[in-house]
Amino acid sequence: MSGHDDLYLWDKSGPADPEIQRLEALLEPYRCGSLVPLPLPARIPMLPAWLAYGAAAAVVVVAVAWFVMRGVSADTWTVAVLSGDARVADVPVAGSARLRAGQVFETGAAGQASIRMARIGRLDVEPNTQLRLVVSGRNQQRISLLHGTIHAHVSSPPRVFIVDTPSAVATDLGCAYTLHVDPGGDGVLRVTHGWIEFNWKGRDSLVPTGAMALTRAGLGPGTPFFEDSTGEFRQALLAYDFPPNAQSRSRALAAVLNSANAHDAVSLLNLVRNSPPTDRPAVYDTLAKLIPPPAGANRDAAIAGDSHALDPWWPAVGIGRAPGR
């Protein structure tokens, strides 16, 4: 979500959106009012403890037996449909189903689902989403998000869970994030916790908590930025990452560097990694102007394209060292 109206829509912070305020006032008469007392008994009737525990034990025994008989392994992905319609391998799913490597899972216009990923976490799937489980193994769990929206909550070690999209590869470095891909192959990544490595054909960005990155079909991922960065900076970054021509790109770079502030250091760090060699000195020098270079920083090595030369910078911009770096 971006923009002030979305902030107000989300948690009522930021400048109020007049249209939303008007709807709130209009709909207030429908709001839950004072409650009619519930006709409760003096004490809530409960199952006897021995019966409750007995029933729970019986459920556990039956569940274990069911799993053993079905041969469910540690690499199993289980889909639970929460609402609407959903299909596994073109077969409608009612309730829950297994998802095997090679199979496609898709949700309809009102379909929402939660997928338990083998040993590594949970994937919430929004309506109109289509994904394929590519690999479910001990060292790698990989899906291809063809289109739609997923929310991933991953607890595995870094680089185990990977999502392919038509224009970027998202490699989990231990995190939670939302990834959307539209039918044309463009996408948006929002990281809510941890880090994501977002790469495609030589572009390789690190996206930390609170940042997002766009991706364009045929071009790959753009530079990550924080959602609360200025509109001017974001527009300039967009023009630089996805320019209509080379001339406009040089103008956009100047706008990026002029509008950047210390809060945008993560974007500049990624830009040093991914910009052409001719652009890197100006980007690096702007970064060094906004944030004092940390001990061990090496301008020449960074400009020469040595990505490890930027490692000392990550803690310096206040977001900690990226996993595996």
Partner 1 sequence: MLTNELALPRLSLESARPSEARSRGMNFTTDEDLVVSAQKGDRQAFSRLYADFAPMVHGILLARVPRDEVDDLLQDVFLTAMKRLGSLRDPRAFGAWLATVTRNRAIDYHRAPHGSKLPDQIPEPRPVETEAWYVLQAIRNLPEAYHETLTLRLVEGMNGPEIAARTGLTEGSVRVNLHRGMAMLREALARKVV
Residues at the site binding partner 1, with contacts judged by CB under 8 A: 1, 6, 9-12, 19-20, 23-24, 26-32, 34-47, 52, 56, 83-84, 109-110, 112, 124, 126-127, 149, 151, 153, 176, 178, 180, 190, 192
**Judged by CB, which is closer to partner 1: 19, or 90?**
19
The b/e string for 255-288 (b: 16+ C-beta within 10 A; e otherwise) is: bbbebbeebbbbbbbbbbbbbeeebbebbbebbe
- Closest distance of CB 284 from partner 1, Å: 34
Q: What token pair was written down for 230?
A: 């200025």
Distance CA 193, CA 175 (A): 5
Question: Residue 310: CB partners within 8 Å, gap ≥ 6?
Answer: 269, 272, 273, 302
- Closest distance of CB 195 from partner 1, Å: 16
Distance CA 228, CA 232 (A): 11
Q: Which of 169, 170, 172 is nearest to 158 (CA)?
A: 172
Distance CA 103, CA 152 (A): 19
**Judged by CB, which is closer to partner 1: 17, or 241?**
17
- Closest distance of CB 152 from partner 1, Å: 9
- Closest distance of CB 29 from partner 1, Å: 6
**Judged by CB, which is closer to partner 1: 26, or 68?**
26
- Closest distance of CB 96 from partner 1, Å: 14
- Closest distance of CB 105 from partner 1, Å: 16
**Judged by CB, which is closer to partner 1: 148, or 220?**
148
**Judged by CB, which is closer to partner 1: 195, or 240?**
195
Q: What token pair was written down for 233?
A: 């900076």
**Judged by CB, which is closer to partner 1: 6, or 285?**
6
Do residues 184 and 215 make contact, with C-beta atoms less than 8 angstroms apart?
no
Distance CA 145, CA 153 (A): 16
Question: Residue 106: CB partners within 8 Å, gap ≥ 6?
Answer: 86, 87, 129, 130, 131, 148
